Each structure stands twice: as structure tokens, then as C-alpha cells.
Amino acid sequence: MISDQIKKGPERAPHRSLLKAIGYTDNQIKKPLIGVVNSFNEIVPGHVHLQQISRAVKDGILAAGGTPVEFNTIAVCDGISMGHTGMKYSLASRELIADSVECMARAHCFDGLVFIPSCDKIVPGMLMAAARLNLPSIFVSGGPMLSLTSDEGKAMDLNSVFEAVGAYMAGNMEEDRLSYFEDNACPGCGSCSGMFTANSMNCLCEALGIALSGNGTIPAVYAHRLRQAKATGERILSLVKENITALDILNEKAFYNAFTVDMALGCSTNSMLHLAAIANEAGVPFDLKKVNEISAKTPNLCHLAPAGHHHMQDLYQAGGVYAVMSELNKKGLLELDANTIYGVAMGEAIKGAKVLDPNVIRPVQTPYSETGGIAVLFGSIAPNGAVVKRSAVAKEMLTHKGPARVFDSEEEAIAAIYAGKITAGDVVVIRYEGPSGGPGMREMLSPTSAIAGMGLDKQVALITDGRFSGATRGAAIGHISPEAARGGPIAYIKEGDLVSIDIPHYRIDLEISEEEMAKRRKDMQVKPPREVSGYIKRYAGMVSSADKGAVLQSE
Ligand SMILES: CC(C)(O)[C@@H](O)C(=O)O
Ligand SMILES: [Mg+2]
């Protein structure tokens, strides 16, 4: 046992003494020590109930003959940090989570780990740690929030409130209506209820084979979630016994399945950053061009919010992620011999799964589209790529040409949008918001929701070296690489330049000549880094480009 290093032989009497000081008995110390990596706190609705999930996980571990040892990580709420400098700390928190789990697991010699994430950055941060540590590992999330139906019969979620702000600011909504959404859109604990980033990543844990079926979709408040947590706690003991470690599962086939399921589900654009970062930790090659190859042949089967009106509870009732996979399998789109935490191959694991509601999970013969939810665009604005959730783009905007309206920060852009200075046809450019330049690559739900809430989403595009929320809809093209702060072409766009977007052909171009661009590179200065301090300053210096997952690199 790995934990023998802290508990076996006379030399380890002091260590056992300390374990006894915690209350562990000799009998408990002899058993496999299972780290329960919790991310409970009292500021994130997706995490506020994780003590209950953790209790259930620990019950499962105890029942299966292990000794659970809980420790915590931080967790940021992207919704609460949205629209101000707080958002600069969200993506950056992912690396802290990975690093802190590494420190805890290595220092205390756990035999296996159960990870309990929930919201956006905690899932990938923990997956990165799992890959890095390569211990027997399994994931169980806190589960999605429920979605209530409004008095107008519309399913609500966090984005309903963000878009209501847009409508209110445009003078199209009364204050009491805004309050109605504020009071009803987020009814209780769980990760926000659309196919936003948290739920995307928790669903992808199933596709990766690192979580039990249902991990992504069972609502936070259902007892099924607690049973799932117990089953997860029991399962880790089998993984320890059989020595199935994280990298037995997180290999090339697992990532192939994850990208494929991502396209079918219509996951958040942030999944491109996170899968790249996790693949990097797992030593699996990642190339954004490959993503397009998968997207080109994978039908989009689901239109959950923001692409449509379904929510996670609908996907749960429709059969969940495995039902989606069973549809994809009919077209031979999966790597069936990928490993799973069940100890059987994925093909075996999904046997028996079927679609229970074809309105929520379309049959593979009649998809929403023949191609996947996400497209990677390349072109003179984004030589190394840009990402768009094409399943949530209005048809009218799939191709668009319009004048650039250039802003060097999210704040400047939002002020112009609220002041009514953005009009039909415009391409809003928000730059110096990349991983290094931001720093922290802010997620821009306020501007995209304001545009949508003002009814301009069929006429206005928004492009940025920052990123978007999973709740963002419209022609919102992010992750433009290289970023402005590192001299990417986006730094040289001028007000009024024509920007050409062609999503079906995977292109994003600036309509100026190469000579003109060369001239601008000579004449125009890239802005100096923003004045920041502390962790985010270190982060700004070390972070890689978005197309590489915005991971920290030491050189
Ligand atoms: C606040 C949200 C909905 O979590 C957003 O940050 C996302 O990425 O989906
Ligand atoms: Mg987010």
C-alpha cells in the first residue's frame, strides 16, 4: 500500500500516533487510506451541499473496507465573480486546485482519491491533479441545480437573469420583472442548470470513464445523487484493489470519447481549454485542428440551454450521458475499448443505456445538426485558433461581415453596449483579456447576455481573446490565439476594420492586406501588461496561450 509509507514499522510510530490523535483506530489505520477531495464552501451554490455528498462518499468507503480522509480545495463561483475583476481569478484558480491536491496527496501518501468537484474550474483542476498524481481515482460531482418554469412557461436558469439585465438596461423590462428572475432563476443548490461549463465538465467525466454513469446529470437535490456518491465511495476500493489508476483511464481513447460527447451534447466552449489542460497533464497529444475533425463528423444531439430550452433535469430523465453515447455508438463514433472506473470497457459500460425522451436526446439519424456543438475557427485574426459554440449561434450569424468596434477591456465594451452605442452589423472586439493580458482570461457573460437581452444577438458578433460562459449564446467567438498581450493580430485591429466570420468554413479574418498588417505591426505598440500583484501577477507571467489550455509553464 502507498500509505504504508506513513503507517508501517517502528519508524512510523510517530506518524501512527498523529493518526490516532485524529481519532483513527489501529484497525482503520491498517486499511487503505482514501483521500476524499472535497470542495465545499459557503459562497458557491454548486458547492454549498458538498458536505452531504462527502458524507455519502465516506459511508461508501467505510462500507467497502477503506478509511476515508477528507481534505478540501478552494472553489470560485463564476457567476458571482462575473463582470468585475473577480473573474480574473476564476480560470487561475484551476491551477491552484490542481497544485494543492498534488501537495496534499503526495505529502500524506493516500492509496486512492475520490474527487468531489461541482463548478466550472474545480472539475478540470481536479482532473489535472488526478492525471498528475496517477493514483486510483474516481469523480462524483455535486450535481446540477434544478430549473423552474417561469410564469410565462419558460424554463429559467442563471442566464435568464443575465439576459434580463440586458433587457432592463435597454429599457425593455421593469425593475419588478428583473426581481422576479432574480428570485426564481436559481432555486437552490447545485451547478447552474444549463449545459454550462460545470455541467459540461461533469458530463465529460462520464465520457472520459472517470465517473459513474449519472455523474453529470443527476440533480443535486435528488436522493439518487447521494446513492451515487455512496456507490462512488465503494467503487474506489475496487480500483485500489485492482490497481486501476487515473492514467489507465485518462488516455487517448478517453479524450477521443470526451471530445465526441462534447460535440453531441453541445458543451461549453470552456471545455476546449480544460480538455487541453487535462490532456497536457495526462501526456496525451492535443491539437485544436483535431477537434474540428471530430466536430465535423459528430452530430449535435442535444440543445440544452443556452442553445435551447432543455435543462440538466431533462437530460437526466432522457437517459443521461450514456444514452447520448448509445446513440453515438449506432454510428460507430466512440472508442468502445476505452477503460472505465467500472473495470470494464466503455462499450460494455454503456450497454443497456437508451434514450427515454427523443425530444431531449435526438436520434442519431435526425440530429439538430450533422456537425458538433463547437467549431474552431482559424484565419488572419486567429492564426492559432478561436472557439465558438456554433450550436448556440443564430443561423443569421453563421456568416457575418461587419465593422470592428474595438475595446481594450470588458468594462469599456459593456459601457458602450449599455449606452446603446453598438448597433446592428457591428463586430464587438474585446482584447487584452487573454490568459496573460487580462490576466486570467475573463469569462464575458455580461456583454454577451446584454447583446442577447437587447435583442441584438441575430445582428451583432463579439470576438475576444478572453473567453465566454457556458451560458453564452450568439456569435461569440473567444480564445482568439495568440492573444493581444502576446502580440496576436487582434492587437492590431482598428475601429471600423471589416471583420469576416465564416463559421461553416471555420474562418475568422480581418479584411486588410498583409502589407497593411505588417505596417501596423511596425507602427502600433502592444499595450504594456496591466498592473497586478500577488498570485495573478505570477500567473500572468507563466500562463500559456488559450489554444494550449492556458496552463502554467515554468519556462
Ligand atoms: C456562471 C456559469 C454559468 O457557470 C458560467 O461561468 C459558465 O461557464 O457556464
Ligand atoms: Mg464559467
Q: What is the pLDDT of residues 429-457, one digit of tens each?
A: 999 999 999 999 999 998 998 898 888 99
Cα 64 to Cα 364: distance, rounded to the nearest angstrom: 39
Residue 504 has pLDDT above 90, yes or no: yes
| Cα 70 from Cα 523, distance rounded (Å) | 57
* Confidence check: pLDDT of 554 > 80: no
Question: Ligand 2 is a single-atom ion; what residues have CB below 5 A from it?
Answer: 78, 120, 197, 443
Cα–Cα distances in Å, from 375 out to 305, 391, 392, 423, 531?
18, 9, 11, 26, 34
Beta-bridge partner residues of 389: 374
Q: With H, G, I as helix, E, B as strand and everything else as coil, classify residue 206.
A: helix
Residue 133: all three cell numbers together = 498524481
Ligand 1: which atom is nearest the Cα of residue 200? 9
Pick from 77, 196, 204, 271 the residue to mutate for probing ligand 1's pocket: most ligand atoms within 8 Å of its CB: 196
* Any atom of ligand 1 within 6 Å of the Cβ of 441: no
Atom index in ligand 1 nearest the CA of residue 196 equals: 9
Residue 268 CA to ligand 2 centre (angstroms)? 9
Hey, what's the cell of 540?
Answer: 500572468
| Closest ligand (CA of 94) | 2
pLDDT band of residue 378 (cuts 50, 70, 90) is very high
The single-letter code of the amino acid at 552 is L
CA gap 1, 229 in Å, rounded:
24
Residue 528 has pLDDT above 80, yes or no: yes
Span from the CA of 113 to the centroid of ligand 1 (angstroms): 26
Q: 192 alpha carbon to ligand 1 midpoint, in Å?
A: 7
The predicted-structure confidence for 309-364, as pLDDT tens digits, reads as follows 999 999 999 999 999 999 999 999 999 999 999 999 999 999 999 999 999 999 99
Terminal Cα distance for the chain, rounded: 35
158 lines ligand 1 (CB under 6 A): yes
Q: Is the CB of 157 under 6 A from ligand 1?
A: no
Q: Looking at 469, 481, 544, 545, which residue is catalytic?
A: 469
Residue 443 known to bind ligand:
yes
d(CA 497, CA 405): 8
Mean pLDDT of the chain: 97
Query: Which atom of ligand 1 approaches the CA of 197 most closely?
Result: 9
**67 DSSP β-pair partners:** 33
Question: In the Cβ-directed half-sphere of 188, how many Cα atoms lie within 13 Å?
Answer: 10
Rounded to an integer, what distance in angstroms lies between the CA atom of residue 448 and that of residue 390? Answer: 14
Integer-rounded Cα radius of gyration of the chain: 23
Residue 270 has pLDDT above 80, yes or no: yes
Contact 468 CB / ligand 1 (< 6 Å) = no
Does the beta carbon of 449 lie inside 6 Å of ligand 1? no
Q: Across the strands, what pairs with 304?
A: 310
Across 452-471, average pLDDT = 94
pLDDT higher than threshold 90 for residue 505: yes
Distance CA 156, CA 237 (A): 40
Cell of 401: 461581415
* Segment 536-539 long-range contacts (CB within 8 Å, at least 24 positions apart): 536/88, 536/89, 536/92, 536/439, 536/440, 537/439, 539/92, 539/95, 539/439, 539/440
Q: Has 213 been annotated as catalytic?
A: no
Ligand 1 atom closest to the Cα of residue 158 is 3
| Contact (CB, 8 A) for 403 and 427 | yes
pTM for the predicted model, two decimal places:
0.98
Has residue 141 got a pLDDT over 70? yes
Residue having the nearest C-alpha atom to atom 1 of ligand 1: 79
User: Coil, strand, or helix at residue 222?
Assistant: coil
- The C-alpha angle 78, 304, 129, rounded to 5 degrees, equals 45
pLDDT of residue 230: 98
Q: How confident is the model at residue 548 (pLDDT cuts 50, 70, 90)?
A: very high
Which ligand lies nearest to the CA atom of residue 471 in the structure?
A: 1
Largest pairwise CA distance in the chain: 76
| Residue 450 dihedral angles phi and psi, to the nearest 5° | -65, -45
Label residue 382 by pLDDT band (50, 70, 90).
Answer: very high
Atom of ligand 1 nearest to the CA of 194: 3
476 forms beta bridges with 462
This model of the complex carries an ipTM of: 0.98
What type of residue is 472?
T
Q: Give the C-alpha separation, 54 to 114, whole Å.
A: 9
Q: Directed axis angle between helix 252-265 and helix 270-282, to 10°?
A: 170
Q: Over pLDDT 90: what percentage of the chain?
A: 97
Tell me whether residue 421 is exposed, middle or buried, using C-beta atoms within 10 angstroms of its C-beta: 0 to 12, 13 to 18, 19 or more. exposed
Over 90: is that where the pLDDT of 127 sits? yes
Q: Is the dihedral of CA 412, 413, 419, 421 positive or negative?
A: positive
Cell numbers given for 544: 500559456
pLDDT of residue 555: 59
pLDDT at residue 452, as a whole number: 87
Q: State the distance from the centre of ligand 2 to the C-alpha of 57, rounded, in angstroms.
A: 26
The one-letter code for the residue type at 122 is I
State whether the beta carbon of 446 lies less than 6 angstroms from ligand 1.
no
Residue 403 has pLDDT above 70, yes or no: yes
Atom 5 of ligand 1: nearest residue by CA position = 469
- How far CA 466 is from CA of 142, 270, 294, 310, 482, in Å, comes to 28, 11, 24, 27, 11
pLDDT in tens, 174-232: 999 999 999 999 999 999 999 999 999 999 999 999 999 999 999 999 999 999 999 99
Q: pLDDT confidence of 490, banded at 50, 70, 90?
A: very high
Distance of CA 77 to the CA centre of its chain: 12
CA dihedral angle for residue 335, residue 337, residue 340, residue 346, rounded to 10 degrees: 60
547 is in an annotated binding site: no
Q: Is the predicted pLDDT of residue 71 greater than 90, yes or no?
A: yes
Peptide bond into 306 cis (omega under 30): yes
In angstroms, the CA 394 to CA 386 distance is: 18
Whether 268 lines ligand 1, by a CB cut-off of 6 Å, is yes
471 C-beta closer than 6 A to ligand 1: yes
User: Does 77 contact ligand 1 (Cβ within 6 A)?
Assistant: no
